Amino acid sequence: MFAYCENNPSSFSDSLGTSPLDDHPINVNPYVDGGYCENNPVARSDQHGNNWITDILDKIFGKDASENCNEIDHLIFGQDSEETKNIPFGSSTIGEAGCGVIALFNALKLLGFKANLYDIRDYFVERNYFRTLGTMPSGIRSYLSSRNIYYESSNNPSIIEKTKLGGVVIVTFWNEMGPIILPNFNDIYNPFIVVYGPIISSGAHTVAIKYAGGYYWVYNASSTETSAQSVEDYNDYLEGGFISGCFIP
């Protein structure tokens, strides 16, 4: 019926009756410039006007898939940098709660592994390792296992000392220690006791640490840093209270 335009009247016309003309000469390559959903608007869409694949990924992940084109290929010293602070992370952002993502990314980079910040971010979010205050340490171990990367984990801060022989340790610790009021069930005349411990409401922080030149070098030591920070005694830095460590040799 539409032989005059190669049976594709939505893309071609033949007003002179001589040869079909492409009505969309600019968008001829659907992988380069969209091709208006590769002439298949039922199966695909092209809301961006440039790539139907992007639209599909947006619907799956709820984000702009083009962000992966802006892959970060260097160490990240502070999560609140202009480059990373507004990257979506679950219901928050990397700047607000992405220290675990950055710590794992930095550790892999320091050890020479291929690392993509967005891939790590997506792994945590899709598997529910994301929390409002940050990343669960179990998510870091799960990611390493998924890539068959050997690691050792411990709840003892001495695991950090392993870096003196090489490798990197990812450490999670409480941001603040202080007096905590707890119920006292053993004395009816003193219903409360005060102990010194982590202030959980202040949240936790996760960093990558390596040892070099007699110092422990902390990456993303705080959200506004612009370089790695050196400390002689890691206990001075972890004054908020050690939670867990994941050593990668």
Residue 123 scores a pLDDT above 70: yes
CATH code 1.10.760.10 for 71-248: no
- Please identify which residue in the block is written with the tokens 């990456």: 219
Q: Please give the full DSSP string across 114-144, using - where no structure is assigned.
A: ---HHHHHHHHHHTT-EETTEE-HHHHHHHH
* Least confident interval from 64-73, 102-111, 197-206, 225-234: 64-73
Dump pLDDT digits (tens) for 80-115.
999 999 999 988 899 999 999 999 999 999 999 999
From-to residues of CATH 3.90.70.10 in the chain = 71-248
- For residue 131, the model assigns a pLDDT of 66
Query: Of the candidates 160, 151, 156, 73, which has an alpha carbon nearest to the alpha carbon of residue 109?
Result: 73
Residues 64-75 have pLDDT tens digits of 444 544 678 899
pLDDT score of 40 more than 50: no
